[in-house]
Amino acid sequence: MKQDMKALATTLKNDVYELCQPGGRMVGTNGHARAEAWVQRRLSEIGCSPYRGDSFALPYHVDGIDFTNFAGVIPGADRTLPPVLIGAHYDSVIPHPCADDNGAAVAITLAVGEAVARSGGLERDLIIAIFDAEEPPYFLTDAMGSIRFYEDQTDDRDVHFALISDLVGHDVTMPSDFLGGTIAKLASPFKPLTFMTGAESHPALPGLLDEVEVPSGMKLIATLNDYVGDMSDHAIFRWKGVPYVFLSCGRWEHYHQATDTPDRLNYQKMAAIAVYAESICRSAAGAELEEYIEREDPIAFEAKTWEKALGIFCKPMATILRVPDFKTRTHVNKALRTMLSLGL
């Protein structure tokens, strides 16, 4: 993504503010209908063609309720190959802006699509998927947009690799009652943290991801999906054995609250995540990712991300989390259990 990071952050901010209106985007509401029109317009503006038919809109119906996924495509060099997909959901859980959940990820997804379109495309098609109905009461049900997209709306090529993001707009903060006074004041280096799961979904991914540069403005920590569970639209791709990556900054104090507003997001961090996401899509598009028999534990890759992300804080954080280091699966298991117990 060869563009000015400041300009990219501005574009992301504009998209979030336009999408994340006060009334929210709950299924069946006027806000949801307004969001549908906005998504369709933005897919056209960034240079996509409809993925199927002559419209970006892919409507579906479950239990008498109308839903709409949206999918555009940036044509690749070889259109016969299974495409790469980048996606995020656009609905909201409450009638409020829900900027981090999930306007930020929608904006990043669109930004990646626009950058790829401007560059002339990848080695294979890139699908820009904006899913409906991720939030309760539809989460992990037959009405969930990503499930319906994969089951009913993908073409015969299937999906080569999927990158999904959710809750990627906020800074990561450490609980002051856990870190203690002095250390809590030094926690600002943790704000750029972004978490990844999915490196375990294909044996080739740890090596591929290890060569993707993490841009300034974000810090990456990779973990197993088992630690957090299927918390977003990557679930269906994991279930179906599609190699995937899921990016998230985790839950925060404004999660599913009226206070999840656009002014609370870090758009510079989002710009860095967008650059990183585009790089992953480019690398995955050129990778074989052949079928495999057994999964491999990506602990070596994960350990590198912990060490690089935490830097000089690596040893102090290991001590706080009551482990000697983050180099073994046992140590990472214990550290993540402690962090998750704090609501991170």
Measured between alpha carbons, how far is 4 from 256 in angstroms, rounded to an integer? Answer: 32
Question: Which residue range(s) make up the domain with 65?
Answer: 5-175+191-296
Domain count within the chain: 1
Tens digits of per-residue pLDDT, 311-322? Answer: 988 998 898 888
* Alpha-helix residue ranges (DSSP H) falling in 46-103: none
> What are the residue ranges in the chain where pLDDT is below 50?
1-2, 182
Domain contains 336: no
Domain contains 26: yes
Domain contains 182: no
CB 84: neighbour CB atoms within 10 A? 29
Domain contains 318: no
CB 290: neighbour CB atoms within 10 A? 8
- Residue 127: give its domain's CATH number: 3.40.630.10
The residues near 237 (Cβ < 8 Å, ≥ 6 apart) are 85, 146, 150, 159, 162, 164, 244
Domain contains 259: yes
Residue 162: in which H helix or E strand, if any? Answer: strand 161-165
Measured between alpha carbons, how far is 131 from 67 in angstroms, rounded to an integer? Answer: 9
- pLDDT number for residue 141: 98
Query: What pTM did the predictor assign?
Result: 0.94
Domain contains 337: no
Domain contains 99: yes
Domain contains 143: yes
